[in-house]
Amino acid sequence: MPARTAFATKLRARTPLIGTFVKLRDPSVIEMLGLCGFDFVVIDAEHAPFDRQALAIAVLAARAAGVAALVRVPEADGTWISAALDCGAAGILAPQVASAAMAEYLVRRVSYGSERGFSPSTAAAGYGTRGIENHLQSQPGETVLICQIEDRSAVALAAEIAAVTGVDGLLVGPVDLAVSEGLTNPSDPAIEALGVQVISAARSAGIAGGMFISDPAAITRWTACGASLFVLGSDQSFLMQSAQAGVAAARQRLSGGNS
């Protein structure tokens, strides 16, 4: 089963899934993350310098690694969504979804036959080998839409957003939630309480509830709340953490700390 179909099937069944953000444009990064065992990666076109060419290469790398690739688009604009899905992405992570109306708009942009242009010659369509009918029939089963909830007003409307047909999951953005509340700690109890509301809304609607986490230990707490989708850090954070630990260990030995 292709990675994007397997991912969509598991996401909709609320099977626990672990992914990470990709912010570095070197495609070998995605290949390495695939070898690490991640279920998916999120190519962060919102906060990292991915143009259309870099996006296509990143998704190609994900296909080579056998790992599903979501794309966090910088805008709800149909151009970005179409480009990501035509490249063969497994779905869209839409930031700052603030209402059911916006979710409905995103569903139309993700789906053929409404506000998304169709081509049977894209990478997603096997460069024409699928044929029009086969690609139209296959696309719904391999393409997901996850809405990111990132401020208090969106939290209040999370149940309405989750109830929109075609929305497959809600992902809590705790850092944006904290900043929107004038805080700097995404683990603040007030922010975690908002996150619980979002996960509860997703669970009640029968869709996946997701959480961005920096510490794997947090999975236990959020799984107990009903979350099944986890975005663990990013390629940048893994690089920084490993490099910092390595340098610190080396300097300790140079100073004779473990001699």
User: Is 161 a domain residue?
Assistant: yes
Domain hosting residue 16, numbered range: 3-234
Give the residues of the chain that fall short of pLDDT 50: none
User: SS3 for 2?
Assistant: coil
User: Is 147 a domain residue?
Assistant: yes
Whole-angstrom distance, CA of residue 44 vs CA of residue 161: 22
User: Is 29 a domain residue?
Assistant: yes
User: Is 66 a domain residue?
Assistant: yes
Catalytic residue of the set 16, 36, 47, 134: 47
Which of these, 93, 98, 74, lies nearest to 198 by C-alpha position? Answer: 98
User: SS3 for 211?
Assistant: strand
Strands 169-172, 40-44: pairing is: unpaired
User: Is 172 a domain residue?
Assistant: yes
pLDDT, tens digit, 9 for 90 and up, residues 71-120: 999 998 889 999 999 999 999 999 999 999 999 999 999 999 878 899 99
Whole-angstrom distance, CA of residue 73 vs CA of residue 94: 6
Residue 4: the pLDDT is 95
Whole-angstrom distance, CA of residue 128 vs CA of residue 188: 50
Residue 258: the pLDDT is 61
pLDDT, tens digit, 9 for 90 and up, residues 163-180: 999 999 999 999 999 999
What does the chain come to in residues? Answer: 259
Residue 176: the pLDDT is 95
User: Is 64 a domain residue?
Assistant: yes
CA pseudo-torsion sign 181, 185, 189, 192: positive
User: Is 256 a domain residue?
Assistant: no
Say how many domains are in the chain: 1
Residue 158: the pLDDT is 98
User: Is 176 a domain residue?
Assistant: yes
Residue 105: the pLDDT is 96
Does the annotation mark 135 as catalytic?
no
CATH for 57? 3.20.20.60
